[in-house]
Structure 1
C-alpha cells in the first residue's frame, strides 16, 4: 500500500515531469518554470522557482551527484542549473532550433542526450557542455530517451512508435519499429546490468495503453537483440510515464485513465486518481514516489513496508482541506474555506475579522482597499496590500485552471489576447507566433512541417469567444 504524504500546488499549468535526487525533488511545467523542493519535508528552496525558459518546460533530470539540474523546453534550449544557488550554469541550443521534448544524463555524468520535435538527437559532452554528435529519426518527434546503466548506450522513443538503441558515436545499433502502436511516450532502463555486462532491461509505455518490459542483449558476435518479456495491461488509456525504483524491483507508471500503478513482477492492481497522470518517478534514497498531473499538482506518496515483495496501488485521496477546497471555484468557497486559505497564506491574524464579517469566496474576490479599511478595519497599509496581492494571485489561478484549452496559445499556454491563424491552420497569440517565426526555422510549432507562408490572419471569432468567456467568469 501507499499513503499520500503531501500535495504540492505551486505550478500554474500542467506538470510535465518530476525528478528526484538524493536530497531534492524537481518539477517542471507548462508555466515555463521549474520548482525545487527539499525531499525531507518538501519545503520549497529559497531560489525556487527557476525561470529561464521562454516556453513550456518538458523534462528535467538531476546529475547523479545532485549538483546540477538539466531541463529542456519548447524554446529549443537545454539549460543546466546549479543546485547550490539556482543560477544558470549553461544554455545549449539544440541543433536546428526545434522544440526539445526530452533530455537525459548518463549515470557517469559524462554525456547528455536531447531529443527534439524534428526527430533530431543531440549528444553533448556534459562537463564541457559541447555538442559531440547529432543523429535523427525521419518524420517523427522524439519524446523518450534513457541511458543504459553503463553509460555507453542510450535508447530513444518517438511518436512513430519505435524504440532505437544508439552508441555514443550516434550509430544506430537496433530498432524496434512497432514497439508501441500510436507512439512511445516514455522509456527507462532498469538500474542493473545483467549477464556479465551484456544485458539490460528496459521499460517502455505508449499511446496504446501498454507498459512493456524488454531485454536488450549484446550478442557475442557484436550485434544486438531486443526481446519482449512482458506486456502489462492494467491501464486503459495512454500511459505517459514510467520509472524504476533505485533497486530495480518496482516499476511505476502513470496514465491518462487517471491511475498510477506500482508493479512488482506482472501484477497490476489499480485505484483511481483525480486527474490525468503526466509524470511519475521514484526517489533514489527513500521509499517515495512523486506524481505530476494536468491538474497542476504534484503528489508525494510513501510506499509502506512490503511493497518490494508484493504489488502496490494507491488512489489520490485528498488528505487536507486545502486539497479538497481546490476542487471548488473560489466563488463557491464557504466562510470556513476562506479562513483556511488565510491561514495557509500567513494571514491567520485576519481570520476573526473575516468571520465576523461573514466573508465567503464571492466577497473575498470583490474586496478593495476601501472595504478593507472602512468595513474590515484593517489599519496596516502593508497588510492590506499583501492581502490584495494574494487575492489577485487567487483570481489568476482560478481563471487559468478553468480556461478552455482552445483559448490557450499552443506556444505559451496562456490565455490569448490577440489570436491569429497561421498557415498550419492553428491559432496562436500574435506575439508568440511572430517570435517563433523570427527565431526558428519557419516550421509549425504544432506539426513541425514548414509554414508555406508567414502571413497571420486575425481570428476575430475566437477573440470574441474569449471575450465572452472572460465576461462570464
Structure 2
C-alpha cells in the first residue's frame, strides 16, 4: 500500500516536523534550519534552507490559502516565510518569550495558533499580523495543536497528558485527561457529521502519546454546549506514539514512533521524519492488487494510475482529455476506443479491453470470496470505509450517509436509529486491508475448491 520513493538526508540533527503544500514539502530540524523541496522532482528549492531561527525549529506548517510557511522555535518566535522567494514576511514573538513547540494554521488561514513550553497558546490574526487572543493551560508544556475542519475549535495537547478544546476567542470549552505520560500529537479528520435537526455537529479526532496508545475522540458542538468524548483506544504500538495524522479525505490514520508524519493533499504521498535526521517520502495509491474501492468510484487519476501499472502509459493522455473515470472505464467498447478516444492501434485497443475484463473478473472474485463481515449490508459490496451506526451494524460510509439522509431507521432492523453518529470501524478496516493485501491467497483457495 505504501512504497518508499525518496529519502532526504540534508538535516544535521533530529527532524521535528514536515508539512506539504500543493507544490512543496517543508521539513524542520533541531539544526535550526527549514528545508523546502519541490514535489515534482524532490529537489531543494534555490532559496532553501531557510535560516532565521537562532535555536532548533520544532514545527512547520503551510497556509492553505496563500504561499506562506510558518515555523516556530525554541527562540520563542513563530516566523512566516514567503514561498515565492524564501523571505521573512513577519515574526511573531510569544508574549512570554517561552520556547514555541507547535504552530498550526486554521483551515481558512485567518488564524495561526502557537503553543509554548510554559503552557501559553496564542491565536494570531494572519492578515493583520497581530495577536487575536491568548490563554494558557493549567499545567505542562503545549506540544500539539489541531484545528477542526470548520476552524471554530482548536485543540491543544500538553506534556502532562491533557487535551484542551478552545473556541476562536480562546475560551476553554473543555479539558480532558488523554494520555498518562503526555500527549505527543493530535489531528482532526476532515469527516464531519451533522444530525438531522441541524443543531449538532460531530468532529472526529485522534491523539497519541508517550503511553504507546492512540485515542479516538468525538467532539460535539451543540446549540447549547460542547462535548469531547473518547470513543476508543488503539493499543497496537509497543513504543511511544510520537506522531499521528489523518489523510486529507479522512480515510486513513497513520501513526508511529517517528517524530513527524504528514499526508499531501494534492498527491498520494506521505512524509515521515525521524530522529535519525532523515525524511522519508512514501507513495500511496492503487495498484492492480489493491481492491479497496469499487472501480465505479475511481477518479480520473485512479484510472490513469491503473493504465500506467498495466503498461498502457501511451494512452494516458487520451483518457485524460476524455475525462474517463472508473464508471466510464467499465463501459468502454472497441467502437468507443476507436471513434471517441481515437486509439487507432488494434493491438492496444484489444489490450485495454482485455485488462478491463481481467479487472472485472478479479473484482468479482474478490467479492464472492469476501467474508460476510466485509460486505456492506446496503450495497452488498466490499467496504472501503466501514463505519458503525447507532444500531451496532457496520456499513459503507457513503451508503449509510445516503440512507440516513432519506430516513432515520436502521437498514438492518427497520427500527428508529438512536442517533445519526457514524463511528469509523478501525478494527474492521484493518482486517479488510490485510485481506485485500493478499488477494491471491483467496483466489488460490477458490481454485482448489
Structure 1 position 138, deviation (Å): 2.2
Query: For residue 222 of structure 2, what is the aligned residue in structure 1?
Result: 219
Tell me the C-alpha RMSD between the 2 structures.
Answer: 1.4
- 1:110 aligned onto 2:110: yes
Q: Is the 8 A contact 2:65 2:108 kept in 1?
A: no
Q: What does residue 133 of structure 1 align with?
A: 133
Among 198, 202, 206, which residue is 2:205 paired with? 202
The one-character-per-residue Cα deviations of 1:112-134 (angstroms, maximum 9, x if unpaired) are 11000001011110111101111
Q: Secondary structure at the match of 1:193?
A: strand
State yes or no: 1:189 paired with 2:192. Answer: no
Q: Which residue of 1 aligns with 2:155?
A: 155
Aligned partner of 1:278 in structure 2 is 259
Alignment of 1:432-443 (within 5 A): none
Q: Deviations over 1:437-460 (max 9, x none)?
A: xxxxxxxxxxxxxxxxxxxxxxxx
TM-score (norm: length of structure 1)? 0.59
Superposed structure 1 runs of 4+ greater than 2 Å apart: 306-310
Rounded Cα–Cα distance in structure 1 between residues aligned with 2:179 and 2:131: 30
Among 224, 233, 236, which residue is 2:235 paired with?
233
Relative to structure 1, the CA distance from residue 13 to residue 308 in structure 2 (aligned partners, 3 Å threshold; closer, same or farther) is farther
What CA distance in whole angstroms lies between the structure 2 residues aligned with 1:135 and 1:181? 23
| Residue in 2 that maps onto 1:50 | 50
* 1:53-452 equivalent positions in 2, closer than 5 A: 53-176=53-176, 178-195=177-194, 198-220=201-223, 222-255=224-257, 277-305=258-286, 309=292
Alignment TM-score, normalising by the size of structure 2: 0.62
Contact 2:78–2:92 (Cα < 8 Å) also in 1: yes
* Alignment check: 8 A CA contact 2:145 2:156 kept: yes
1:95 is paired with a residue whose SS is coil
Q: Secondary structure at the match of 1:190?
A: strand
Determine the C-alpha separation between the residues in 2 that align with 1:30 and 1:46: 21
1:66: how far off? 4.7
The CA deviation at 1:249 is 0.2
Indicate if the aligned counterparts of 1:250 and 1:308 stay in contact, CA closer than 8 A. no
Q: Distance in 1 between matches of 2:32 and 2:248?
A: 29
- Aligned equivalents of 2:65 and 2:125: distance in 1? 17
**Cα deviation, residue 95, structure 1:** 1.0
Q: Distance in 2 between matches of 1:179 and 1:309?
A: 32
Q: Return the offset for 1:236.
A: 0.8
Distance 2:264 2:169 in 1: 31
- Give the Cα separation in 1 of the matches to 2:33 and 2:251: 32
CA distance in 1, matches of 2:140, 2:253: 27
Stretch moving more, 21-30 or 130-139: 130-139
The Cα offsets for residues 357-383 of structure 1, whole Å up to 9 and x where unpaired, read as: xxxxxxxxxxxxxxxxxxxxxxxxxxx
- Alpha-carbon distance, 1:308 to partner: 9.0
1 CA distance for matches of 2:21 and 2:167? 26
How far apart are 1:254 and its partner, in Å?
1.9
Deviation at 1:224, TM superposition (A): 1.3
Deviations 1:141-192, CA, capped at 9 Å, x for gaps: 000111111111100100111111101111101111x211110011111113
Counterparts of 2:19 and 2:291, CA distance in 1: 21
In 1, distance between residues paired with 2:106 and 2:180?
28
CA distance in 2, matches of 1:284, 1:141: 30
Larger mean CA deviation between 72-81 and 231-240 belongs to 231-240
Q: Deviations over 1:220-268 (max 9, x none)?
A: 4x2112222221112111111111111000011121xxxxxxxxxxxxx
Equivalent residues of 1:186, 1:205 under 8 A apart: yes
Contact 2:13 / 2:30 at 8 angstroms: preserved in 1?
yes
Q: Any stretches of 5+ residues in structure 2 without a counterpart?
A: 294-449
- 8 Å CA contact 2:68, 2:82 repeated in 1: yes
Post-superposition shift, 1:219? 2.5
How many pairs does the alignment contain? 287
Q: Is the 8 A contact 1:242 1:254 kept in 2?
A: yes
Check the 8 A contact 1:249/1:308 in 2, yes or no.
no
SS in structure 1 opposite 2:270?
Answer: strand
Q: 1:293 to 1:231 in 2, by over 3 A?
A: same
Instruction: Give unpaired runs (5+ residues) of structure 1.
Output: 256-276, 311-473
